[in-house]
Amino acid sequence: MVFVEEINRKTYNEDVYYTSINSLKPMARNRITKTTTAAGIRNNKRVNYSLADLEAKIYTPQADKNESNSSSKLIATANGALERYSQQELLKSKRRYMELDTENSQDTKDVPYLMSGVTGINRDRIDLTSSSASVSGSSASNINRSNRNKLELPKNIEMMYRSTKPPATKKKNTNRIVALKKILSSRRTLSSYLDTIDQINRSIIYSNVYNKKFFKVLPVITVCSICGGYKSISSCVKCGNKICSLRCFNLHNDTRCTM
């Protein structure tokens, strides 16, 4: 890139062709010459290289200017807001802001108390102005907001958590083996049970027994002493009672075996 210099018309000679061969180098032009007078006083001003003084000159007035500018801006915005909006609209906006700031929708009733403590205006006045301004324009929006914020809980929410879940009902033990074991553990004879039965149940039992087709063969059939079965009959080694299965054998050893 060719070095270009601006021609000074006061010192420019039209008869002399301009050339930059004999011109001073940039370092020579920018060099500060130390010139002193006969009295020994420097013509050039002494430069202060104190970093603390330089920072104080740079930042201190600027900070003061920034503070003054920010305060003036705040005052201007406040004055502009008072000019643009009425006091009723300002109270309405402040109340709406505090309602949005509350975490629980039930706390909105305390907003007038908070605003009266902040602004110094009577609580009834705040409530009347804000409510009258908001009833006409925001009744439908409040209904929609309440419906939108309504949380529908499932009907079986109590059944989802162990802490709120009702205790499970105890099922009645209908196991015939357990009931039979309980009866046999008492070591009562059949005649004692028949004596305790009333006449109606006794007639039902005897009618069911006599209606069996193989009633005449019953004395010949060998039955289990525990359950009354007649298949795969075996006898106990100790007492000789008849048993049809391992379950009956264990029950016989627990309740009936006398040896």
Per residue in 80-102, pLDDT (tens digit) is 666 666 777 777 777 777 776 66
For the segment 11-38, the average pLDDT, to the nearest whole number, is 56
- Residues with Cβ within 8 Å of residue 157, at least 6 apart in sequence: 164
> Residue 130 above 60 pLDDT?
no
pLDDT of residue 82: 61
- At 34-83, the pLDDT tens digits run 555 555 555 666 666 677 777 777 766 555 555 666 666 666 666 666 66
pLDDT tens-place string over residues 189-237 = 666 777 777 888 878 777 766 665 545 544 567 778 888 787 888 888 8
| Per-residue pLDDT, 62 | 55
- Band (pLDDT 50/70/90 cuts) for residue 116 is confident
Q: How far apart are CA 255 and CA 158, in angstroms?
A: 46
pLDDT of residue 81: 60
At 105, the pLDDT band (50, 70, 90 cuts) reads low
Question: Averaged over 118-147, what is the pLDDT?
Answer: 60
Cα distance between residue 255 and residue 243, in whole Å:
13
Q: So what's the pLDDT on residue 107? A: 60
Helical ranges in 31-122 per DSSP H: 51-84, 87-101, 111-119
Q: What is the pLDDT of residue 162?
A: 73
Q: Which pLDDT value is given to residue 234?
A: 87
Q: What is the pLDDT of residue 224?
A: 85
Q: What is the pLDDT of residue 182?
A: 75
Q: Share the mean pLDDT of the chain.
A: 68
> How many Cα atoms sit within 13 Å of 226 on the Cβ side?
31
The amino acid at 116? S
| pLDDT of res. 215 | 52
